[in-house]
Chains A and B, each alone.
Chain A
């Protein structure tokens, strides 16, 4: 049974929610989620790349020969990543400095190549656009969720706004690398308690 366009869009928020359902794209999830602001910035950048690379790959799917498809996908994805990098540097300089190396690393984010290979190269442009946007926004949501949690426990604030009571002692460990693994593991376990199809 074929899904409707709306279903293609919303599956990114739960059914194949990255990184919890697909367990892909863990590098940014672990690396940049120290502050909610960074998580959001990374999510938006990834969504942009995913949306446009999905559209372009769906458009070109009949032109690209099967044997060189991965190379072609990577060129297309890398182009959009560099565009994002330049635009971020030009208009959102402070956040692009914080994310630093992780913006160019979107090129090798498995979610993007994964959606290109598994979805966009087999589906129509409209469906691929819905899929890219849905998965991208789902990814953004997950990044914001983890980074807010880590910032809340590790620094006592969310998006830079103090929310904890004044005597709160932050767990410094939550904003360091091990905190990311613990957070990811706990949320993954909780989400796996709930069935895929509700």
Chain B
């Protein structure tokens, strides 16, 4: 009797252990490749939109910048050789969960060059309309110091009717993003100058 139970436990444990080991191996092997695919297929189109005037490939020219212990990936947009805008990710809470936003900022004018929605779980047909350009264009051209809140919260952004919470989510992502901007900008310029010094 005890022998039977022991066999069950040993066999199941062994199978699970071998499977777990196999999976971790596959995961390590494919990890970088998957990150790259997400970069090209999810973030690429958003970046093209957000840094529409760039002549370089922002995915290749990305920087990792550490700020208060958090690493931010910053995508650099250049016109010719001249840095003109940066883009990085921010996050806000919508109606159905976190909304990932790509935020582009024009460095010369200190204005938003565009935002793009990367991930969201909002209601299809209602909240999902935050990813439409008619909504994201409302952020374009605003100064970074602008008040990114929906009109209901005494801000200046027109929320999508019937999707106030989703609109709030995008606004809070924008707010969080621009709050980082002044600190990030210093670090970005430092890194870029370092690079050009080396050349």
Give A residues with C-beta under 8 Å from B.
Answer: 60, 63-65, 67-68, 71-72, 75-76, 78-79, 82-83, 86-87, 89-91, 93-94, 97
**A32 CA to B23 CA in the complex, in Å?**
26
Q: How many chain-B residues does the 8 Å CB contact rule pick out?
A: 19
- Whether B8 is near chain A, meaning CB under 8 Å from some CB there, is yes
- Whether B37 is near chain A, meaning CB under 8 Å from some CB there, is yes
**A49 CA to B56 CA in the complex, in Å?**
42
The interface residues of chain A lying within 8 Å CB-to-CB of B26 are 82-83, 86-87
11 residue pairs A–B, Cβ–Cβ below 8 Å: A65-B4, A65-B8, A72-B12, A75-B15, A75-B19, A76-B19, A79-B22, A82-B23, A82-B26, A89-B30, A97-B41
Inter-subunit contact B15/A72 (CB<8 Å): yes
The interface residues of chain B lying within 8 Å CB-to-CB of A93 are 34, 37-38, 40-41
Given A79-B19, A79-B23, A83-B23; A90-B11 close (CB under 8 Å): no
**A108 CA to B41 CA in the complex, in Å?**
29
Inter-subunit contact B41/A94 (CB<8 Å): yes
The interface residues of chain B lying within 8 Å CB-to-CB of A78 are 19
Given A79-B22, A89-B37, A90-B37; A72-B11 close (CB under 8 Å): yes
Cβ 8 A contact of A90, one of B8, B15, B19, B34: B34
- Whether B109 is near chain A, meaning CB under 8 Å from some CB there, is no
**A90 CA to B28 CA in the complex, in Å?**
11
Against A, the Cβ 8 Å flags (1 = close, 0 = not) of B66-93 are: 0000000000000000000000000000
The interface residues of chain A lying within 8 Å CB-to-CB of B37 are 89-90, 93
CB of B6 to closest CB in A, whole Å:
10
Inter-subunit contact A64/B11 (CB<8 Å): yes
**A91 CA to B11 CA in the complex, in Å?**
34
The interface residues of chain B lying within 8 Å CB-to-CB of A64 are 11, 15
- CB-CB contacts below 8 Å: B76-124 with A: none
Given A82-B23, A83-B23; A76-B15 close (CB under 8 Å): yes
The interface residues of chain B lying within 8 Å CB-to-CB of A83 are 22-23, 26
**A94 CA to B19 CA in the complex, in Å?**
27
Inter-subunit contact A68/B19 (CB<8 Å): no
Instruction: Give 6 nearest A-B pairs by CB, closest first.
Output: A90-B33, A90-B30, A79-B19, A93-B37, A86-B30, A65-B8
- Whether B191 is near chain A, meaning CB under 8 Å from some CB there, is no
Given A83-B23, A93-B37, A97-B41; A68-B11 close (CB under 8 Å): yes
CB of B189 to closest CB in A, whole Å:
34
The interface residues of chain B lying within 8 Å CB-to-CB of A72 are 11-12, 15
